[in-house]
Structure 1
Amino acid sequence: MSSGPALVSILRQGDILVASVHTALDDAEMVRFQEDLVEQIGQYRARGVIIDVAALDVIDSFAANTLRSIADIARLRGAHTVIVGIQPDVAFAMVSLGMGLAGVTTALDLEEGLAHLAGIRAGTRSGPSGG
């Protein structure tokens, strides 16, 4: 990635990784994000992953497919994924275009995403449901 402002930040909070996407990513940047996140899941033995997309005003089909792939890869590596912060207009456009995130858990915001992962850890599934 460039030497300018970070496009994505990945922070560790215990055994949870919180990835915040700060700006729209092109296809190559999405692939790099996926590779970096998957690598860190193993490196930090993450049990949960939250991807915050609140800053995005568009999620195209490639980005939606990449987010689904990240969730699938994370699950195969033993981590649960929650996508948080999808803006109302983005959700509307995605549904209108038939681009869902089927099989991927979504939540309104970071707080709800963390609560969902805590519920999984505690053996309950309260909070947001798969979207």
Structure 2
Amino acid sequence: MDRLPILKIGSVLLVSIQIDMQDQMALQLQEDLGQRIVDTGCKGVIIDITGLDIVDSFVGRTLSTIASISRVLDAETIVVGMRPAVAITLVELGLSLEGIRTALNVERGLELLARSTEPDTADDLELFGDPETASS
């Protein structure tokens, strides 16, 4: 069975789907991504679906499941490169792709991940106390 390559770029895993995915390939991708997240400790997953002409309900649900698995493993999933026809099909099928953020392309997806994983200094101070005002 064919497997989709999963590239590691820093703390991000990138999958570029350039062929129409069959159900078995989608399930294999789900399993492979989960294992790679565990193995690498990555904080983000970008799935580039530029090459997909059709996203059926099974593939749509599999993408949602991948996002859920990633979240449980402390990684965020962003789907990039969605064509307008694919978006229309997803809406017509009633698939909302819950838990999945989207971006126009890989570059914007990487920017979105970078912004979402930046530590928020104000929140850090609130959680751990401001070291300048903490008593010794």
- Percent identity of equivalent pairs: 40
Equivalent position to 1:47, from 39, 43, 47: 43
Kept after mapping to 2: 8 A contact 1:8/1:22: no
Structure 2, unmatched stretches of 5+, are: 121-136
Matched, 1:37 2:33: yes
Q: 1:22 pairs with 18, 27, 35, which one?
A: 18
Larger Rg: 2
- Give the aligned CA root-mean-square deviation in angstroms: 1.3
More helix by share: 2
* Per-residue deviation, 1:97: 2.3
Partners in 2 of 1:118 and 1:33 — Cα distance?
A: 24
| Deviant stretches of 4+, over 2 Å | none
1:68 to 2:64 alignment? yes
**Which amino acid in 2 is paired with 1:95?**
V
- Alignment of 1:10 onto 2:15: no
Q: What code does the residue aligned with 1:19 have?
A: V
User: Structure 2 length as normaliser, TM-score?
Assistant: 0.83
Asked whether the 8 Å contact 2:57–2:93 carries over to 1, the reply is no
Give 1:84's aligned residue: 80
| 5+ residue gaps, structure 1 | 125-131
